[in-house]
Amino acid sequence: MRGLHAFALAIAGCSTAAGSAAPAPVPVVVEHRPSSRSCKPEAPVAVTLSTTVIDPRRSAVVVTATPTRDVDALEVALALPPELALEVGAPKLHFVDVGAGEARELRAIVRLDGRRGELAAIARVPADGVVMARTVAAWLGEPVAPPVTRTYALPDGELAQEVRP
Amino acid sequence: MRRLGLGLGLGFALAAVAACGDDRAGAPDEEPVAPDGGGGDDDAAANACAAAGIPADGDVVRCAGGDRIETEDCGDGGSCAVTGGTATCLTAEVCAGVGPLGRCEGDVLWRCDGAPALTDCATTGQVCGYADDTTGYACVDAAGLGAFVVRGRVRWEDRPLSPGQLGTPVPVPARGVMISVLDDANDTTLATVSTSDDGSFTMRYDAAPSARVRVTAYSRSRAPARPVRVRNASGYLHAVGSPAFAAGGAEPVDLLITVTAGAAAWNALDNMVSGMDLVRAHGLTAMSPLVVYWQQGSATGSYYQGGSNTLQLDGDDGWDDVVALHEFGHYLQDEYSASDNPGGAHDGSPADPRLAWGEGGATWFAIAARGVPYYIDYAAGGGWHVELEDRVHAASLASSMAQNISEWMVAELMWDVGDGSLDTDGDPMSPGDRTAVFDVLIGYLVAPGAADRGRAGVDLVDWLDGWFMHHGMASCAAMRALVRERYRFPYDFAGPAGACP
């Protein structure tokens, strides 16, 4: 999924001495914007997804969409897998006549209830009659364990990283 | 060595005597000739390949309804073979599971280097095995090939792409994929072959009798016809191995590369294989090596880099066949056609005509290769897509041939010219021909002395000029209706091929 996976931070402080304050949750931010060297057609909008753990059951989410050209319409949306639920906020917001560089936000609280899933933030804008979208995603909850691999060189020097059963 | 169609025919036919001997009321006037001296044995003749010219080269002769002989024309590019006692036509369709490297079924060799052909290697005391990455599978001498043999099939889980969604995983054959048997103790490669286009492989190797080995598939195609490798962000080939087994045992070994094991890397590889097959089908034979970088979770963007012939696929474009083939289209432009694309971010809005040509031409390649006129960029939540058959991203007749235009218009126009039987909008160029579009890409656009009209550099005007240079002026009226009336592009129809009436 686009962007580095953002893993929710484990809540610290369970075994800390009484009276010491738990460190403030740190937002995990993923961003995707039009690339100067990308040669596939791309939506003229940048998207940032910020997730902050509130407690083991909930995360605060902020989606920021910033068009890179004037647009007639801008839609900002969250796409949640079945494992996640929206507790506070709207899943989708619509804006009109947004100028280049003007940011629009969607704020929400997502409930995990001990589960995990990939949350996607989407910005949709029209460009020459085509509704284009840009998506960023972040994992909420415990990360998925990566597959077991081994790396080695092949006879011609090429390197391989092999997934083992 | 004899071709099965004429070589094994008698043996198989005799073993499969059909009840065609008594009632010949429906038999053709011209008696087929039994192969290999079998003349006079009606039953043998009833399941055989007809001799050349009798009644027609390549025809199948067989029983029909148990009481009469019929023949079947195997058609252009088809051939006849007798397998399992039954004479059948080998049509071009069977080659879809063979590919340029051939295929082994036991010691029967399948090749599709023209008309499909079967060869029983055993008739010459040979075995069907892997010769090298250029020839692929062939009849080879068993001596020195290795004491052990392992066969199997490699598949990967595809997620079919359609506008707004990805399908559930579907196993598909791994075409032309590099596969090795390794000593499981130290990862030493013992033998390496490539899969046939049905994913099957036959691999002979030597190993210590007590050794434990495994079979591993790599995200690479080694054949010169399809020189592609897909690496992860660290530069490693993706690879998926089988459980270890005792050398000489555990046959067959089938591999299924799952989505979670990184099947999208093989999806990227398969798209490049399709692209190279399409390029070769249009007459280009020497393929330049291509390296693709893809890794789940990477955020590289998707782009092609000439010079190094590398192609970056963004982490979320692993299942995006259209994006992958669009980038392959840039490889085609770089290696075999022409583009002066200045690059940079673009969104389909009217842009520098050199960019519109480079991007629109690449998109045309992608949709033409798939035969589906949709640009699709899937992402969680559906991504986005644009339909390119019915939509019109028009230019302005009031402006010049050098005006900024939409890359979508370039792709739409080229699709209309070449959509042939896929045409649904009744555009003026129907029925078109994809090959005719291709001819201009790899012909006029790279021809010495080609005129440079429109904006300086390669643009749509140059491709239109090339169209008439390659295909003459017969399409003037249809092209005028398409280009000027439908797309409102002020092409002057007065290029180097002459002026349209």
A127: chain B residues, CB-CB within 8 Å: 347-349
| pLDDT at res. B145 | 85
Cα distance between residue B357 and residue B464, in whole Å = 11
Distance between A64 CA and the closest CA of chain B, angstroms: 17
Mean pLDDT confidence for B460-475 = 96
| pLDDT at res. A38 | 60
| pLDDT at res. B283 | 87
Encode pLDDT of B325-376 as tens digits.
999 999 999 999 999 999 888 999 999 999 999 999 999 999 999 999 999 9
Distance between B60 CA and the closest CA of chain A, angstroms: 47
What is the per-residue DSSP string for B261-299?
TTHHHHHHHHHHHHHHHHHHHTT---PPPEEEE--TT--
Assess whether pLDDT exceeds 90 at residue B259.
yes
| pLDDT at res. B81 | 75
Q: What is the DSSP letter of A108?
A: E
Q: How confident is the model at residue B29 (pLDDT cuts 50, 70, 90)?
A: very low
| pLDDT at res. B292 | 98
**CB environment B189-198: b (16+ within 10 A), e (fewer):** bbbbbbbbbb
Distance between B279 CA and the closest CA of chain A, angstroms: 21
Better-predicted residue by pLDDT, B420 or A108: A108
Determine how many CB atoms are found less than 10 A away from the CB of residue B247. Answer: 22
B380: chain A residues, CB-CB within 8 Å: 1, 79, 118, 120, 122, 135, 137
Contact criterion met (CB < 8 Å) for A162 and B377: no
Assess whether pLDDT exceeds 80 at residue B234.
yes
| pLDDT at res. B8 | 35
Distance between B323 CA and the closest CA of chain A, angstroms: 7
Better-predicted residue by pLDDT, B9 or B108: B108
CATH number given to A28-34+42-163: 2.60.40.1230
Assess whether pLDDT exceeds 90 at residue B34.
no
Q: Are strands A58-67 and A104-111 parallel, antiparallel or unpaired?
A: antiparallel
Contact criterion met (CB < 8 Å) for A160 and B350: no
What H or E segment, with its residue span, contains residue B469? helix B460-471
Contact criterion met (CB < 8 Å) for B240 and A4: no
Give the CA distances from residue B52 to residues A145, B30, B45, B85, B495, in Å, rounded to whole numbers and listed in that order.
Answer: 63, 14, 14, 20, 50
Assess whether pLDDT exceeds 80 at residue B501.
yes
Residue B250 CA from chain centroid, whole number: 32
Cα distance between residue B288 and residue B285, in whole Å = 10
Q: What are phi and psi of B122, to 5 degrees?
A: -65, -25
Rounded to the nearest integer, the mean pLDDT of chain B is 87
A148 to chain B, any CB pair closer than 8 A? The answer is no
Cα distance between residue B77 and residue B116, in whole Å = 8
State which residue of chain A sits closest to B320, comparing Cα positions. Answer: A40
Which of the residue ranges A28-37, A87-96, B36-45, B384-393 would you say has the lowest mean pLDDT?
Answer: B36-45
| pLDDT at res. B63 | 57
Written in H, E and C, the secondary structure of B330-353 is HHHHHHHCCCCCCCCCCCCCCECH
Contact criterion met (CB < 8 Å) for B187 and A131: no
Q: Which range has the top average pLDDT, A16-25, B54-63, B259-268?
A: B259-268
**In chain A, positions 23-82, which contact chain B (CB-CB < 8 Å)?**
32, 34-44, 68-69, 77, 79
Contact criterion met (CB < 8 Å) for A120 and B379: yes
What is the per-residue DSSP string for B176-236?
T-EEEEEETTTTEEEEEEE--TTSEEEEEE---TT-EEEEEEESEE-STTS-EEEE-TTSP
Contact criterion met (CB < 8 Å) for A154 and B349: no
| pLDDT at res. B60 | 67
Cα distance between residue B390 and residue B26, in whole Å = 51
A42: chain B residues, CB-CB within 8 Å: 345-347
Residue B353 preceded by cis peptide, ω within 30: no
What's the pTM value of the predicted model, to 2 decimals?
0.87
| pLDDT at res. B21 | 43
| pLDDT at res. B492 | 97
What is the per-residue DSSP string for A6-69?
PPPPPPP-TTSPTTPPPPPPPPEEEEE---SS--S---SEEEEEEEEEEETTEEEEEEEEEESS
Encode pLDDT of B77-114 as tens digits.
677 776 666 777 777 777 889 999 999 999 999 999 88
Cα distance between residue B48 and residue B318, in whole Å = 48
Cβ burial, residue A139 (10 Å; 0-12/13-18/19+): buried
Longest CA span, chain B: 80
Closest Cβ–Cβ partner in A1, A5, A132 for B380: A1
Contact criterion met (CB < 8 Å) for A158 and B180: no
B241: chain A residues, CB-CB within 8 Å: 162-165
Cα distance between residue B85 and residue B12, in whole Å = 4
Distance between A61 CA and the closest CA of chain B, angstroms: 17
Encoded tokens for B68: 């009469």
State which residue of chain B sits closest to A135, comparing Cα positions. Answer: B379
Q: What homologous superfamily is domain B91-266+289-320 in, according to CATH?
A: Carboxypeptidase-like, regulatory domain (2.60.40.1120)
ipTM comes to 0.84
Contact criterion met (CB < 8 Å) for A135 and B347: no
Cα distance between residue B247 and residue B225, in whole Å = 32
| pLDDT values of chain A reduced to their tens digit, one per residue, 165 residues | 333 333 332 222 223 334 456 677 888 898 888 877 668 999 999 999 999 999 989 999 999 999 999 999 999 999 999 999 999 999 999 999 999 999 999 999 999 988 889 999 999 999 999 999 999 999 998 888 888 999 999 999 999 999 987
Contact criterion met (CB < 8 Å) for B384 and A43: yes
Cα distance between residue B302 and residue B379, in whole Å = 13
Encoded tokens for A63: 């989606």
CA dihedral sign of residues B232, B237, B242, B246: negative
Q: Both ends of chain A: CA-CA distance in Å? A: 23
Question: What is the share, in percent, of chain B residues with pLDDT greater than 90?
Answer: 71
Q: Are strands B310-312 and B290-293 parallel, antiparallel or unpaired?
A: parallel
Cα distance between residue A30 and residue A102, in whole Å = 19
| pLDDT at res. B201 | 98
B383: chain A residues, CB-CB within 8 Å: 133, 135
Radius of gyration of chain A (CA): 19
Q: At what angle do helices B353-370 and B460-471 cross, to 10 degrees?
A: 60
Distance between A156 CA and the closest CA of chain B, angstroms: 10
| pLDDT at res. B67 | 65
Opening angle at CA B477, ends B472 and B482, nearest 5 = 105
| pLDDT at res. B66 | 60
Ordered by start, the domain boundaries in chain A are 28-34+42-163
Domain with CATH 2.60.40.1120 in chain B: 91-266+289-320
Contact criterion met (CB < 8 Å) for B297 and A154: no
Closest Cβ–Cβ partner in B238, B261, B302 for A38: B302
Distance between A22 CA and the closest CA of chain B, angstroms: 31
B187: chain A residues, CB-CB within 8 Å: 150, 152
A128: chain B residues, CB-CB within 8 Å: 347-350, 393, 406, 408
Contact criterion met (CB < 8 Å) for B216 and A162: yes
Q: Number of A:B CB contacts under 8 A?
A: 159
A36: chain B residues, CB-CB within 8 Å: 344-345
Q: How confident is the model at residue B32 (pLDDT cuts 50, 70, 90)?
A: very low
B237: chain A residues, CB-CB within 8 Å: 154, 158-161
Better-predicted residue by pLDDT, B212 or A141: B212
Which of the residue ranges B39-43, B122-126, B363-367, B402-406 would you say has the lowest mean pLDDT?
Answer: B39-43
A2: chain B residues, CB-CB within 8 Å: 299, 314-316, 379
Contact criterion met (CB < 8 Å) for A137 and B189: no
Q: In 3D, which of A106, A64, A114 has the Cα closest to residue A85?
A: A114
